[in-house]
Amino acid sequence: MKLAPNVKLLPKDKGEDAVIFAGDDAYSHAEHYMQGGEARKRGDKIPPVYLGRRDLGNLENLRIVDDGRSRAIVRRAGKLDDRQALQIETLLAVAGVKEASFCDENGELLEDWTPQLARLKDEYERGESLVLPLKKKITENHGDDELKPRVESRADGVFWVTPKVDKQSGEIIRPETWLCSPLELLGTGTIGKEHYRVMRWKKPANNEVITMAVPCGGIGDRDGWRLLKDHGLNVTTNGKYRAILADWMQLSGSHEEWQLSTTAGWHFGAYIMPDGSVIGDCEKPVLFTGKTAAVNGYSVTGTAEGWRDSVARLAGGNPSMMLGVAVSLSAPLIGLVGADGFGVHLFEQSSAGKTTTQNIASSLWGEPDAQRLTWYGTALGIANEAEAHNDGLLPLDEIGQAGNAREVSTSAYTLFNGSGKLQGAKDGGNREIKHWRTVAISTGEMDVETFLKTEGIKVKAGQLVRLLNVPMEKSTQYHEYSTGKAHADALKAAWTENHGAAGREWVKWLAAHQQEAKDTVRACRERWRNLIPECYGEQVHRVGERFAILEAALVLSGHVTGWNVQTCRDAIQHNFNAWVKEFGTGNREHRQIIEQAEAFLAAYGLSRFAPVNYDPASLPISELYGYRESDGRYDEPVLFYVLPEPFSSHVAKGFNKDAVAKTLHEAGMLRKPASGRGWQIRTPRLKHLKGARLRVYGLLLTQDHDAEND
């Protein structure tokens, strides 16, 4: 039979009250009782017994008072159900307590337990207790040696106690050495192959409660102590006592299994916010071990209804703002339905409300300004943020402020690919690859493709179907306000008063309606497949899947936004049309290939291509790319015989050369051999090469050639 915390410290006078705090916040209440002055007013210097969450789950195996104690006061300290209260009352009765009272958090009497103590004891001894199985008489474990040195964890700290007998009085005295500030050992957990101990303490500076998974491999070494001290735990500097403390940290306390996660989002039946807060219930306690630079942004002010009636109402009727809300709501939805992550980049040169729209989207989850991240960083840094925002919204502001365009290019591709870099581990092998699913909302004065092109970086089509470039439109529905500025100011005031609650309400609804969410997404996907013509390129159809998710999010969230279904669908359709206008309806890679080939011929067609019948002596060309042939008529195409090496290094740069040849042939820009096999033809006989015929690619360039879907 284990002793509850501080039972050994109860007053020696058995006639004095045993003060017991019981509830899921018992430790904090007990600490406040000792430090806040209430104990001093009562003349009580003895730390109270406290029964926290793990103790309440194990009451059958606990002694909560010592034998012979005649009086007890039980105070509720947080969540405590009726069964647990009855268990505590029964334990007091069995232990022989004659007088007991049950009080609230402030010490006000809720119920006098004294009249029923005798009955509860009698029922227990007959084996008829409803809440406590019959055990042998609860007595002190005589196996415990009162003179044995031990570590004691109390409300005032953790101490090394070395009891001994006073030679003069014969009484046991208890010299003690301070080891660290108050510390709870809550349980254990694993991440991959690494084992952790879950600990909780308060920072002395601001009383912030820290719950941390501490690597077992670091407990007792210099780095491990530094980690604990950096997070506000005061630890002895004496090496001898640090070794004792390290052993206690590993072996003592609760070893309840915790679920540890490096990523936010849906885990173990609950949803983990980027700040570590958990929405929903799961069988085992959950702890988020990841970190985000915007951890302080996920606060809650106001209500979900307040957000709906102010922020959502004012945003309604404005397609770009409604798109921002759809992006935000899609973030937890993709995790439930198994969809890929994606992003929406809103761009416009003028002040069209990009930041306002992004703030509206962020206000679902917390304080917008504190959540906002930036493209100004490394690809690794953004990947870490994606992991911390798994199944969540990732707000990225102003792409033009990014310091390195190449980092942006890498991030734009890997962010929504969902996998981190393969890295080696110190002890051999490789680290576990990071995975995530996130939805990003980004802003900038120019679209991603233009931004990267200005830095000399070619954009891959895959980037543009993961991060959708949608032109920002100014608000037109000001509701009761007369100007756009007044409307924007009202929105800011609205999200300042109401943020964070609506997103949490949305997650709770999703958790309770998972099948409805999946069915709606399936229906929206089918609708969008039928909306997009078959002749449109594959990439357009892939983007249609993203807009189907956005539509489903708005359709499902009417109770959060207050918007009707048709208005939501119209807004999403409007933004899709705007995206198509920018991207085109064909295959973007094909368009890029054609543009690259045309640019190559326009740049080098005269300087690096010689006429078929030319004299090298009279027309020297230092770097020859091939030959050109034309009948001189304006409306007839020029045939360029491109040598294989320039074709690979210039025309097909960044692509597979056979795929490029096929695309150009289908566009009418490449002449195939008469045999129909392969892509290379032969030049006419070249006089300067003694009549030789070279294998080349035959490219045609007409004056009025129109790349597809321009």
Q: Would you say 689 and 630 are in contact if contact means Cβ atoms under 8 Å apart?
A: no
CA 305 to chain centre: 25
Among 378-392, 401-415, 503-517, the minimum mean pLDDT is found in 401-415
Residue 708's pLDDT band (boundaries 50, 70, 90)?
Answer: very low
pLDDT(556) > 90: yes
Position 137 scores a pLDDT of 38
Output the pTM of the full model.
Answer: 0.64
Which pLDDT does position 707 carry in this prediction? Answer: 41
The answer, yes or no, to whether residue 672 has pLDDT greater than 70, is yes
Q: Does the pLDDT of residue 618 top 60, yes or no?
A: yes
Q: What is the pLDDT of residues 460-501, one digit of tens each?
A: 666 677 889 999 999 999 999 999 999 999 999 999 999 999
With a cut of 80, say whether residue 561 has pLDDT above it: yes
Q: What does the mean pLDDT of the chain come to? A: 86
Under DSSP, is residue 188 helix (H, G, I), strand (E, B) or coil? strand
Would you state the pLDDT for residue 400? Answer: 63
Tens-digit pLDDT profile for residues 250-302: 999 999 999 998 888 998 888 998 888 888 878 788 898 887 767 788 899 99
The predicted-structure confidence for 338-370, as pLDDT tens digits, reads as follows: 898 999 999 987 777 899 999 999 999 999 998
Task: Please report the DSSP string for 470-511 in residue order.
Answer: EE-------TT-SSHHHHHHHHHHHHHHSBSHHHHHHHHHHH
* pLDDT on residue 156: 87
Q: What is the pLDDT of residue 430?
A: 47
Structure confidence at residue 445 (pLDDT):
84
Q: Where are the alpha helices (DSSP H) in 289-442?
A: 304-307, 313-315, 319-337, 354-362, 368-371, 379-388, 405-414
How long, in residues, is the chain?
A: 710
For residue 15, what pLDDT is reported?
86
Please report, rounded to a whole number, the percentage of residues in the chain having pLDDT higher than 70. 89
d(CA 338, CA 437) in angstroms, rounded, equals 9
Which pLDDT belongs to residue 37? 65
Residue owning tokens 């009250």: 17
Query: What DSSP character marks residue 60?
Result: G
pLDDT of residue 450: 75
What pLDDT score was predicted for residue 592? 81
Beta strands in 133-208 (DSSP E): 150-154, 157-161, 164-165, 172-173, 176-180, 184-191, 194-202
Task: Answer whether residue 710 shows pLDDT above 70.
Answer: no
- Burial status of residue 179 (CB atoms within 10 A of its CB: 0-12, 13-18, 19 or more): buried
Does the pLDDT of residue 560 top 60, yes or no?
yes
Query: How high is the pLDDT of residue 77?
Result: 92
Confidence (pLDDT) at 479: 94
Q: Binning pLDDT at 50, 70 and 90, where does residue 614 land?
A: confident
- Is the model more confident about 415 or about 366? 366
H or E stretch including 590? Answer: helix 588-604
Higher pLDDT, 549 or 335: 549
Give per-residue pLDDT as tens, 173-222: 889 999 999 999 999 999 888 899 999 999 988 888 899 999 999 999 99
